[in-house]
């Protein structure tokens, strides 16, 4: 099935306020923050909440406030351990679920965006309701078959990486040079450089680079080093997850980006015109 992705920036919507407050509550709990810190987070959300800011921009300020008041750099460390454990078990069950072709590796990559620990519900990858896929295959084929050899993948959750290996190998089989970008330091359950070595992901794929920040999503003004060089060139860009979609929407459509994610909230569902709970591989 094929749909068009709306070309508009992803600002906060009324749906976002409760989600941001839940994020503050969860992160404060994991950081052993007191009620004053949580109250300050709520006040910050109310202060910043307007129609000219993205959800990740507010989330990043929440994380900064909690870190500064608690000194806890990685409150999600145990959550990430659990997420990786779940993903490894799921890989065994799902390894042969899709063919090793472009559509199959896109679906497999999207499925990995399900292990997000913010969902708190028991994750059942084999539930048929988790298998709604929408891919703009013709558009994606056109993008990845360009003569450009370099591909930049913007990672998301810590366990997404394991589900992205088939996509990486498929692209390498096409003669592409793949770079996989992760956060420099911990934020939420996103994969960061520390995690790469902790879980020995570098032994699976070594060409992993840093975004240079500990921020949700990606901000053009923060780009530096290799990731900045790749972005400013006409490389093929693949972005995993909603945070990357939300922040890249601020880039004003300066280049085509392949987005792979599970739609986990009504705000994103409305923005991209796909059902909540579905998996998408689309081009903006």
Same domain, 132 and 269: yes
- Give domain status of residue 192, yes or no: yes
Same domain, 61 and 169: no
Same domain, 101 and 222: yes
Residue 114's pLDDT is what? 84
> What is the domain-level CATH number for residue 182?
3.40.50.10880
146-162: b or e for each residue (b if 16 or more CB lie within 10 Å)? eeeeebbbbbbbbbbbb
Give 158-201 as a DSSP string. TTHHHHHHHHHHHHHHTT-EEEEEEBSS--TTB-BHHHHHHTTG
Same domain, 41 and 163: no
Same domain, 48 and 97: no
Residue 118's pLDDT is what? 41
- Single residue among 70, 104, 134 that ends a domain in this structure: 70
What is the distance between the alpha carbons of residues 219 and 231, in angstroms, rounded to a whole number?
11
Same domain, 66 and 147: no
For residue 150, the cross-strand partners are: 177
Residue 117's pLDDT is what? 42
- Single residue among 48, 70, 92 that ends a domain in this structure: 70
- Give domain status of residue 112, yes or no: yes
Number of domains in the chain: 2
Whole-angstrom Cα Rg for the chain: 18
- Give domain status of residue 22, yes or no: yes
- Give domain status of residue 20, yes or no: yes
- Could you read off the pLDDT of 95-153 as tens digits, one per residue? 999 999 999 999 999 999 987 644 444 555 555 555 799 999 999 999 999 999 999 99
Quote the domain boundaries for residue 187: 77-283
DSSP strand E in 63-183: where? 133-135, 150-154, 177-182
- Give domain status of residue 227, yes or no: yes
Same domain, 253 and 150: yes
Question: For tokens 């990845």, what's the residue?
Answer: 144
- Could you read off the pLDDT of 23-36 as tens digits, one per residue? 999 999 999 999 99
Residue 124's pLDDT is what? 58
What is the distance between the alpha carbons of residues 262 and 71, in angstroms, rounded to a whole number?
32
Same domain, 87 and 204: yes
- Give domain status of residue 9, yes or no: no
On the CB side of 218, CA atoms within 13 Å amount to: 29
- Give domain status of residue 127, yes or no: yes
Same domain, 275 and 224: yes
- Single residue among 47, 70, 93 that ends a domain in this structure: 70
Residue 4's pLDDT is what? 37
**Environment class of 270 (CB within 10 Å of its CB; exposed 0-12, middle 13-18, buried 19+):** middle
Same domain, 45 and 102: no
- Give domain status of residue 6, yes or no: no
Same domain, 106 and 184: yes
Return per-residue pLDDT of the chain as tens, 284 residues.
333 344 467 899 999 999 999 999 999 999 999 999 999 999 999 999 997 899 999 999 999 999 999 999 999 999 999 999 989 988 998 999 999 999 999 999 999 998 764 444 455 555 555 579 999 999 999 999 999 999 999 999 999 999 999 999 999 999 999 999 999 999 999 999 999 999 999 999 999 999 999 999 999 899 999 999 999 998 999 999 999 999 999 987 678 999 999 999 999 999 999 999 999 999 98
Same domain, 134 and 53: no
Would you say the pTM of this structure is higher than 0.85?
yes
Residue 80's pLDDT is what? 96
């Amino acid at each position: 099935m094929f749909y068009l992705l709306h070309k508009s920036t992803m600002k906060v919507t009324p749906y976002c306020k409760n989600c941001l407050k839940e994020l503050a509550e969860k992160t404060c709990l994991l950081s052993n923050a007191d009620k004053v810190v949580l109250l300050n987070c709520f006040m910050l959300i109310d202060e910043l909440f307007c129609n000219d800011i993205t959800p990740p921009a507010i989330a990043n300020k929440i994380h900064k406030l909690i870190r500064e008041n608690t000194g806890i750099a990685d409150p999600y460390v145990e959550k990430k351990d659990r997420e990786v454990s779940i993903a490894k078990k799921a890989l065994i069950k799902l390894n042969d679920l899709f063919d090793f072709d472009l559509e199959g590796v896109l679906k497999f990559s999207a499925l990995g965006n399900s292990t997000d620990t913010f969902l708190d519900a028991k994750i059942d990858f084999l539930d048929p309701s988790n298998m709604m896929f929408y891919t703009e295959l013709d558009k994606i084929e056109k993008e990845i078959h360009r003569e450009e050899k370099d591909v930049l993948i913007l990672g998301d959750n810590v366990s997404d990486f394991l589900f992205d290996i088939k996509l990486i190998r498929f692209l390498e089989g096409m003669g592409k040079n793949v770079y996989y970008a992760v956060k420099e330091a911990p934020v939420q359950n996103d994969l960061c450089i520390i995690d790469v070595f902790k879980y020995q992901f570098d032994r699976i794929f070594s060409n992993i680079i840093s975004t240079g920040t500990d921020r949700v999503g990606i901000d053009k003004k923060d780009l530096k080093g290799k990731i900045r060089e790749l972005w400013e060139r006409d490389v093929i860009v693949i972005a995993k997850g909603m945070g990357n979609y939300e922040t890249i929407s601020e880039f004003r459509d300066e280049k085509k980006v392949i987005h792979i994610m599970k739609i986990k909230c009504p705000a994103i569902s409305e923005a991209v015109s796909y059902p909540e709970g579905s998996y998408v591989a689309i081009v903006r």
